[in-house]
Amino acid sequence: MNLDRVKAVISGGASGLGRATAVRLSAGGAQVALLDVQDDAGRNAATAIGAAASYHRCDVTSETEVEAAVQAAATRMGGLNVSVSCAGVATPGKLLGKDGPLAVAAFQRVLAINTLGTFLLDRATAAIMQGNAPDADGERGLLIHTASVAAFEGQVGQVAYATSKAAVAGMVLPLARELARFGIRVMGIAPGIFGTPMMAGLPQEAQDSLGKQVPFPPRLGRPEEYAELVAAICTNRMLNGDVIRIDGAIRMAPR
């Protein structure tokens, strides 16, 4: 679909990959709704983007909050045809750590935000998209998941994160097959090491060291590069049912 016809909801839209996606899509003429729990950052992001953007508070682990936020966004935009799931956490933890086995609650929280949050957004948005008028190719909508290279090369201490992102990637093909009859595409993006708020908590020396591990370009990925891929997926209808790595050819080591 052309970007100027896009009406998108973006979870995690207040910062990082989500905010960059909102900026890029709106620059192409799209309307965007930012879903997040960071109220100040979300409102500021929407204000900075302009009239094409709105902010809606939403805890992606809550079915009722996701449903309400999606409905509010669709009402404001006069429809909905793109969903981008960027909300996520990367809380580390070993199965057998220094303080004993990994807390079940810690494992569940990562899966709730990353995996359940993606499912709930898919569920709420696809339910609306199925009723859209089809375009010339019969397309009614697009769901985009944010996985991670950790889905394929999880490191020590990433058991919860890697599990959650492997599930996010694993949902793509069955959903693409199921939703094909409605003309709804489903794609995934698996970023490598990107300069996001998650990464910002590390010392600059550590960030630089991580960036040098990337074969080319030897640096951290930029949120704008992720956003460009989202825009490309929106405009290319043959992209469906797959997960695209955007990682500079890195393959993560065990540690």
Residue 71 is predicted with a pLDDT of 98
Q: Give the chain as a DSSP string.
A: --GGG-EEEEETTTSHHHHHHHHHHHHTT-EEEEEES-HHHHHHHHHHH-TTEEEEE--TT-HHHHHHHHHHHHHHHT---EEEE-------B-TEETTEEPPHHHHHHHHIIIIIHHHHHHHHHHHHHTTSPP-TT---EEEEEE--GGGTSPPTTBHHHHHHHHHHHHTHHHHHHHHGGGTEEEEEEEE-SB-SHHHHTS-HHHHHHHHHTSSSS-S-B-HHHHHHHHHHHHH-TT--S-EEEESTT------
Residue 201 is predicted with a pLDDT of 67
Contact between residue 86 and residue 21 where contact means Cβ atoms under 8 Å apart = yes
Task: Give domain status of residue 217, yes or no.
Answer: yes
Residue 105 is predicted with a pLDDT of 97
Which of 161, 162, 179, 187 does the annotation list as catalytic? Answer: 161
Task: Give domain status of residue 251, yes or no.
Answer: no
Residue 246 is predicted with a pLDDT of 98
Task: Give domain status of residue 255, yes or no.
Answer: no
A 10 A CB-CB count for 9 gives 31
Task: Give domain status of residue 252, yes or no.
Answer: no
pLDDT digits (tens, 9 = 90+) for 52-85: 999 999 999 999 999 999 999 999 999 999 999 9
Task: Give domain status of residue 97, yes or no.
Answer: yes
Q: How many structural domains does the chain have?
A: 1
Predicted model pTM: 0.96
Residue 205 is predicted with a pLDDT of 80
55 is catalytic: no
Residue 23 is predicted with a pLDDT of 98
Domain that holds residue 223: 3-246
Task: Give domain status of residue 240, yes or no.
Answer: yes
Residue type at 174 in one-letter notation = P
User: What's the CATH number where 72 sits?
Assistant: 3.40.50.720
Low pLDDT (below 50) residues in the chain:
none
Task: Give domain status of residue 239, yes or no.
Answer: yes
Residue 202 is predicted with a pLDDT of 67
Residue 208 is predicted with a pLDDT of 83
Task: Give domain status of residue 10, yes or no.
Answer: yes
Output phi, psi for 246, to 5 deg. -130, 90
